[in-house]
Amino acid sequence: MTDPAEPGLHASPGRFDVWRAARRAHPVAWTTSADYGEFWSVTTHGLAREVLQHPQQFTSTQGMRLGGNERAVAAASGRMLVVTDGAAHRRLRAAHSTWLSTSRLDRLRSDIENDIDALLADLIEAGGSFDAVADLGAVVARRALARVLGIPHEDWAELGRLTDAAYATNDAHEAAAAHGELFMYLYGLLERRRAEPRDDFVTALAQTAVDGRQLSDDEILLNCDGMLSGGLETTPLAIAGALVAFAHDPATWQRFRSEPDLLDSAVEEVLRFTSPPAHVMRTAATDIPLGETVIRAGERVVIWIPSANRDDDVFPDAERLVLDRTPNPHLSFGGGPHFCVGAVLARIELRCLLTVLARRVAAIAVTGGEQYRRSNFLHGPQVAEVSVAAVA
């Protein structure tokens, strides 16, 4: 099997052919990667779901991505949602869920839609040509998360600077320094929210007691950082990927504009089709069968999300963007107890984006560079230069 952890594969136009062949020949394959060592690769939807739904057998506490910093994982395990299982995970998730619910986030829907409308109006007025990743997707995600965290509008530019440096750079020293600044900013915000509570996520984490115990400062800061990294890394890829997909399929874009009832199913199909997470990792806690293989305790298991989301046995005509696809059990938010806690927010952002696009944009075209990320963790465009024609 081609090394699925090789970053170049994920930027290749032929990546889906590789996944298709892997699903047919070896849906659970022992993999030796030059840079990431040995692990099991899972490429089919059914086996991926089996791993995700059983954290007792496949734990997240030893890391959820290839190439992660083992010391950082050990320090965060039990305190950060994505690398925690069992009772500690249920406690942290309960604290998140007090605010990240549909009823709470619906209050932000009109603000998020207005932000997107103003941003798109500016892009159209400037000529209608832009990078769908940097100029649209990243800005939408940053502003939505700023509203969720309760970051004052006057700090949005600083948030953009810090998050770009912390998450979007390949310079490890620059990223570490920016992360330090970001944690200090979040700590200051936490202190302000303790003194002046607001209706926001930081206040909710500061005030919520689960099983009679408040969250510690470290738990609050780690999980705010988790919210930022998750939302800022994946949502822009879904947004940019949606524009590129519609640009390549003008008839589907026109159908969406003419059938507003397709909004909910279109959001789910965009998430399936773009598959922003490239992989999630688990570690076997015990010897356990998976498909025709027995996974041994301590072995790593890597689920390749773009492959699972295009499994023909689950998604007929999987290579096409099918707006009314139902059911659509995609794994872009993971599954089981670790189903993405930010899924409600991501769906609202995409609903608002598609609503504004349908109202303002008659046609979309790819006009320049369309480069995909050389990353085995995030899947989608690095650059997506598009142009939009405004509705007359």
Contact 315, 201 (CB under 8 A): no
Task: Quick: pLDDT tens for 348-389.
Answer: 999 999 999 999 999 999 998 789 999 999 999 999 999 999
Query: Any idea what DSSP says for residue 29?
Result: E
> For residue 13, which of 364, 368, 381 has the smallest C-alpha distance?
381
Give residue 369's pLDDT.
74
Residue 241 within any structural domain of the chain: yes
CA distances from 124 to 355, 375, 384 (A): 16, 31, 16
Token match 């990240």: residue?
100
89-93, 225-229, 352-356, 376-380: segment of lowest average pLDDT:
225-229
For the cut 90, the answer to whether the pLDDT of residue 161 exceeds it is no
Confidence bin at 168 (pLDDT 50/70/90)? low
Burial class (CB in 10 A: 0-12, 13-18, 19+), 172: exposed
Confidence bin at 2 (pLDDT 50/70/90)? confident
DSSP 233-261: HHHHHHHHHHHHHHHH-HHHHHHHHH-GG
Residue 345 within any structural domain of the chain: yes
For the cut 80, the answer to whether the pLDDT of residue 172 exceeds it is no
Task: Quick: pLDDT tens for 47-70.
Answer: 999 999 999 999 999 999 998 889
Nearby residues of 380 by Cβ (< 8 Å), 6 or more positions away: 133, 236, 237, 238, 240, 241, 274, 275, 276, 372, 373
Residue 199 within any structural domain of the chain: yes
Give residue 169's pLDDT.
60
Q: What is the mean pLDDT of residues 102-125?
A: 96
Look at residue 62 and give its three-state secondary structure: coil
Residue 163 within any structural domain of the chain: yes
Residue 79 within any structural domain of the chain: yes
Residue 90 is part of a domain; what is its CATH number?
1.10.630.10
Residue 385 within any structural domain of the chain: yes
Q: What is the mean pLDDT of residues 280-290?
A: 97
Token match 């607001």: residue?
198
- Residue 30, domain extent: 7-390
Residue 1 within any structural domain of the chain: no
Please tell me the total count of domains within the chain. Answer: 1
At what angle are helices 109-125 and 138-149 packed, to 10 degrees? 150
Contact 238, 273 (CB under 8 A): no
> For residue 144, which of 348, 281, 6 has the smallest C-alpha distance?
348
Residue 2 within any structural domain of the chain: no
Bridge partners, residue 40, by sequence: 30, 301
206-210, 245-249, 354-358: segment of lowest average pLDDT:
206-210
What's at 152, amino acid-wise?
A: P
pLDDT > 70 fraction of the chain, expressed in percent and rounded: 98
Query: Any idea what DSSP says for residue 210?
Result: E
Give residue 347's pLDDT.
97
pTM value is 0.95
Give residue 299's pLDDT.
98
